[in-house]
């Protein structure tokens, strides 16, 4: 009989299952990554059963299964990089509590990312989406699994990891259907006059390209119907604005979860790698994100809470300056018109997004306790863990995790020069790493204290 395509695909599935068994035998930071391995095992079992049932002459069916295995092989990368000691486990109880308070049973798997970025991947939904497209039944699991990735070299970068709040925001956005219910407004908010100008400029550029058809000279714009072009371009702008809306909503959720610490983390992370006006089809520029975040910053009272820290206020004022940037201009180049359409479209969605986030998600009443933060800030300035407050009766109570993170950021921005002077013989990068490690240790001790000592 010799070798067949079906045999090669069956072998591919066999090796896929062997790799899953190898991944199952590894040590992980908790049982959560093993839940992801079990999910892949269910997928592999399902595919193996499909291969057994397929005929050897069903070329299309064999190719479909082969493609499916290739997708899942790529998805295995979400578990292969996780090891026992390369995840900031001290931060994980905080996210467990956030999901618990919102009555969500999602398993979040944290993994180092070879790309220098943070990301969110709803892997159970991805797998079920692929299965649905191929006509296979969904994988039934006891709960949803999502992967949160972070730069692999930043395992101990506690302050930078406040960006995790944005990735959790993506998950809550999906769970509570925030963006989905706002998306119908997108087409309404696209500036129709600017759209006409944009299409006009595009057709004008085509009019400069001439061709000879028979004995007649024609320009390319004659082959395009303006109304169809406007309809097409409107949808293209809407696609980008919908993706930007997801980011704006995730930012909005994140500031409710982590307070100023999130704003500091995401802004500094982005400003270190790109200009304030740079954007992609999936992510708006930082000035637009800050245009949404800074009014919320004030509305939640953070500016008043932080007013005694001169360095913090100076940095916040810098963020405000960035947030006042705009693409609006009298320049009517095609790129400028495109930028203005996108900016006006997304800015028009700020208020509906904020309102629906507040209506749909039951956030904790106090995001950060700035009274307790004074004690944590003082501890960090003295290179002591800032995880508890000593009472007058010689007992102590823990400082909550979000307050610890915000306190570490206050020290990082407002008192870092003081730490440099305190540790003059240590490289400045190492001083900053010491603060990160102190914050991590504080989170670990806070969690231990909360479990061991009854609430006062």
- 185 and 98 in one domain? no
DSSP bridge pairs for 218:
211
- 375 and 346 in one domain? no
pLDDT number for residue 50: 86
pLDDT number for residue 210: 58
Asked if the structure places residue 266 within a domain, the reply is: yes
Give the domain-ending residue among 121, 155, 189.
155
What confidence category does residue 4 fall into, taking pLDDT thresholds of 50, 70 and 90? confident
Asked whether residue 223 carries a pLDDT value surpassing 60, the answer given is no
Asked whether residue 252 carries a pLDDT value surpassing 80, the answer given is yes
What confidence category does residue 133 fall into, taking pLDDT thresholds of 50, 70 and 90? confident
pLDDT number for residue 219: 62
- 204 and 132 in one domain? no
Asked whether residue 221 carries a pLDDT value surpassing 70, the answer given is no
Could you count the other beta carbons within 10 Å of the beta carbon of residue 123? 19
Asked if the structure places residue 365 within a domain, the reply is: no
DSSP classification of residue 450: H
Asked whether residue 163 carries a pLDDT value surpassing 60, the answer given is yes
- 87 and 218 in one domain? no
Report whether 255 contacts 297 (CB < 8 A).
Answer: yes
- The per-residue b/e assignment along 319-349, b for 16 or more CB within 10 angstroms, e otherwise, is beebbebebeeeeeeeebbbbbbbbbbbbbb
The string of DSSP letters for 2-61 reads ---HHHHHHHHHHHHHHHHHHHHTS--SSSHHHHHHHHHHHHHHHHHHHHHHS-TT-HHH
Asked if the structure places residue 170 within a domain, the reply is: no
What confidence category does residue 445 fall into, taking pLDDT thresholds of 50, 70 and 90? very high
Quote the CA–CA distance of 64 and 71 in Å, as a whole number. 11
Asked whether residue 212 carries a pLDDT value surpassing 60, the answer given is no
pLDDT number for residue 2: 64
Mean pLDDT of the 142-156 span:
90
Query: Average pLDDT over the chain, rounded to whole?
Result: 90
DSSP bridge pairs for 213:
216
Asked if the structure places residue 225 within a domain, the reply is: yes
Asked if the structure places residue 79 within a domain, the reply is: yes
Asked whether residue 339 carries a pLDDT value surpassing 90, the answer given is yes
Report whether 357 contacts 300 (CB < 8 A).
Answer: no
- What 13-16 contacts at long range (C-beta under 8 Å, 24+ apart), as own/partner pairs, is 13/44, 13/47, 13/48, 13/51, 13/65, 13/69, 14/48, 16/44, 16/47, 16/69, 16/72, 16/73, 16/76
- 381 and 273 in one domain? no
pLDDT digits (tens, 9 = 90+) for 347-372: 999 999 999 999 999 998 889 999 99
- 113 and 198 in one domain? no
pLDDT number for residue 201: 81
What confidence category does residue 49 fall into, taking pLDDT thresholds of 50, 70 and 90? confident
Range of the domain at 28: 5-155
DSSP bridge pairs for 432:
none
- 259 and 111 in one domain? no
CA dihedral 280, 281, 287, 290 (to 10 degrees): -120
Q: Token pair for residue 201?
A: 């400029």
Least confident of 61-75, 76-90, 134-148, 237-251: 134-148
DSSP bridge pairs for 151:
113
What confidence category does residue 218 fall into, taking pLDDT thresholds of 50, 70 and 90? low
The percentage of residues in the chain with a pLDDT greater than 70, rounded to a whole number, is: 93
Name the packing angle between helices 401-414 and 260-271 (round to 10°): 50
Asked whether residue 332 carries a pLDDT value surpassing 90, the answer given is no
Asked if the structure places residue 29 within a domain, the reply is: yes
Quote the CA–CA distance of 352 and 347 in Å, as a whole number. 10
- The per-residue b/e assignment along 168-195, b for 16 or more CB within 10 angstroms, e otherwise, is bbbbbbbbbebbeebeeebeebbbeebb
pTM of this structure: 0.92
Cα 164 to chain centroid distance, Å, stands at 7
pLDDT digits (tens, 9 = 90+) for 74-124: 888 889 889 888 999 999 999 999 999 999 999 999 999 988 999 999 999
Distances, alpha carbon 343 to alpha carbons 190, 226, 335, 353, in Å: 10, 24, 12, 15
Distances, alpha carbon 286 to alpha carbons 116, 293, 296, 325, 425, in Å: 18, 10, 15, 10, 36
Give the domain-ending residue among 314, 335, 360.
360
pLDDT digits (tens, 9 = 90+) for 23-39: 999 999 999 999 999 99
Asked whether residue 213 carries a pLDDT value surpassing 80, the answer given is no
- 142 and 14 in one domain? yes
- 356 and 375 in one domain? no
Q: How many domains does the chain have?
A: 3
pLDDT digits (tens, 9 = 90+) for 393-423: 778 889 999 999 999 999 999 999 999 999 9
- 374 and 356 in one domain? no
- 237 and 203 in one domain? yes
- 103 and 211 in one domain? no
pLDDT number for residue 3: 74
Asked if the structure places residue 160 within a domain, the reply is: no
């Amino acid at each position: 009989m010799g070798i067949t395509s079906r045999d090669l695909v069956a072998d591919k599935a066999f090796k896929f299952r062997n790799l899953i068994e190898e991944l199952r035998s590894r040590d992980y930071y908790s049982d959560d990554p093993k839940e992801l391995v079990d999910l892949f095992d269910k997928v592999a079992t399902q595919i193996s059963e499909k291969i057994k049932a397929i005929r050897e002459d069903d070329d299309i069916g064999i190719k479909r299964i082969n493609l499916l295995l290739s997708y899942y092989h790529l998805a295995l990368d979400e578990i292969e990089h996780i090891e026992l000691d390369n995840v900031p486990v001290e931060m994980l109880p905080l996210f467990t509590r956030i999901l618990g308070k919102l009555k969500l049973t999602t398993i979040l798997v944290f993994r180092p990312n070879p790309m220098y970025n943070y990301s969110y991947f709803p892997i159970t939904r991805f797998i079920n989406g692929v299965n649905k497209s191929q006509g296979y039944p969904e994988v039934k699991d006891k709960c949803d699994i999502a992967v949160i990735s972070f730069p692999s070299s930043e395992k101990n970068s506690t302050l930078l990891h406040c960006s995790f709040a944005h990735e959790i925001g993506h998950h809550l956005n999906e769970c509570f259907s925030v963006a989905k219910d706002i998306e119908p407004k997108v087409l309404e908010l696209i500036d129709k006059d600017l759209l006409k100008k944009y299409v006009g400029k595009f057709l004008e550029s085509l009019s400069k390209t001439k061709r000879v058809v028979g004995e007649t000279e024609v320009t390319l714009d004659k082959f395009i119907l303006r109304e169809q072009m406007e309809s097409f371009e409107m949808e293209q702008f809407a696609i980008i604005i919908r993706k930007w809306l997801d980011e704006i909503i995730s930012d909005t959720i994140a500031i409710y979860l982590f307070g100023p610490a999130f704003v500091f983390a995401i802004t500094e992370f982005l400003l270190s790698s790109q200009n304030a006006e740079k954007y992609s089809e999936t992510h708006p520029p930082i000035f637009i994100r800050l245009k949404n975040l800074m009014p919320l910053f004030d509305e939640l009272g953070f500016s008043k809470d932080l007013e005694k820290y001169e360095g913090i206020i100076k940095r916040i004022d810098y963020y405000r300056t960035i947030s006042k940037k705009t693409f609006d201009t009298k320049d009517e180049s095609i790129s400028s018109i495109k930028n203005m359409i996108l900016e006006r479209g997304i800015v028009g969605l700020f208020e509906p997004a904020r309102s629906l986030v507040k209506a749909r998600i039951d956030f904790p009443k106090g995001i950060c306790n700035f009274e307790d933060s004074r004690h944590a800030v003082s501890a960090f300035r003295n290179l002591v863990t800032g995880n508890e407050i000593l009472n007058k009766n010689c007992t102590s109570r823990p400082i909550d995790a979000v307050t610890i993170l915000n306190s570490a950021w206050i020290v990082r921005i407002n008192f870092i020069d003081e730490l440099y002077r305190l540790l003059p013989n240590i490289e400045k990068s190492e001083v900053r790493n010491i603060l990160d490690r102190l914050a991590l240790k504080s989170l670990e001790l806070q969690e231990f204290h909360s479990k061991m000592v009854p609430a006062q």
